[in-house]
Amino acid sequence: MRKILITAILGALCTGPAVADPVADNTAEAREIVKQFFGDLKGKLQAAMKEGGPTNAIGVCRNEAPGIARSTSEQTGWSVGRTSLQLRNFQNRADDWERQALEEFDQRKAAGEDITKMEKAEVVSVNGQETFRYMKAIPTAALCLNCHGAELKPEVKAKLDELYPTDQATGYQEGDIRGAFTLSKTL
Ligand code: HEC
């Protein structure tokens, strides 16, 4: 008897009207936006490196990255950016939610999780407004070490020192979490 009842309840739940899942739906959208943002940025960075080496490519990261973030935000209606616990540009500093996510990412990496798929998604209240927030870890690749590694070419170091006197974003190794993409959308 009880078994039949449970089956009936489960049946009713499963065949009920489809409930929208804001986390799953928005996560799928956020992943697409990250793919586009990262693709644009990496393409421009690689082209600039090929053309004039890392000293030349610093300009891409300095000028194009915020520009691509802005245009992606305008196109999608999402707020899109990058952040890190060790900043080069203070404008990219993390807020409380982002800092907590970045610390969690470090712990999850230490526990053995693959950082290439690491993400966090949550619906939170921001000033009383339901907001979807999403972050995706950015792994440090070999290419990144030209400007974020432990040993920089003297001319790269000189240029970075000049542009970012408080730079904390060096000393990384391949496979470290460099930072994260951070996206949000008011629901
Ligand atoms: C040619 C030098 C150069 C290379 C190569 C480079 N970066 Fe950067 N990176 C910069 C500069 C310059 C900034 C500061 C941009 C700004 O002013 O907004 C930066 C900023 C960042 C930030 C934003 C957080 C912060 O510290 O301000 C992240 C995340 C980041 N880089 C990740 C990467 C990753 C991942 C790679 C490799 C795929 C990479 N970078 C390769 C120069 C570089």
What is the spatial distance between Cα 77 and Cα 37, in angstroms, rounded to a whole number? 14
Residue 55, ligand 1, Cβ within 6 A: no
pLDDT of residue 118 exceeding 90: yes
Summarize pLDDT for 137-172 with one digit per residue, the tens: 999 999 999 999 999 999 999 999 999 999 999 999
Give pTM, 2 decimals.
Answer: 0.89
The reported pLDDT for the residue numbered 93 is 97
Atom of ligand 1 nearest to the CA of 89: 27
Task: Return the bridge partners of 8, or none.
Answer: none
What is the per-residue pLDDT across 96-108, written as a single tens digit (0 to 9) for each?
999 999 999 999 9
Domain boundaries, the chain: 21-186
How far apart CA 172 and CA 176 sit, in angstroms, is: 6
Greatest alpha-carbon span in the chain:
79
Quick one: pLDDT at residue 158?
A: 97
Q: Is the CB of 159 under 6 A from ligand 1?
A: no
Nearest CA to 178 out of 95, 118, 96 is that of 118
Supply the DSSP symbol for 176.
S
Q: Where are the alpha helices (DSSP H) in the chain?
A: 2-15, 22-59, 65-76, 96-110, 145-148, 154-163
Residue to mutate (ligand 1; options 41, 56, 61, 105; most atoms within 8 A of CB): 61
pLDDT-derived band at 48, boundaries 50, 70, 90:
very high
Residue-level pLDDT at 3: 55
- CA–centroid distance, residue 67 to ligand 1 (Å): 13
At 4 the pLDDT is 52
CA distances in angstroms from 174 to 110, 133, 146, 182, listed in the order given: 15, 27, 11, 21
Closest ligand 1 atom to the C-alpha of 168? 26
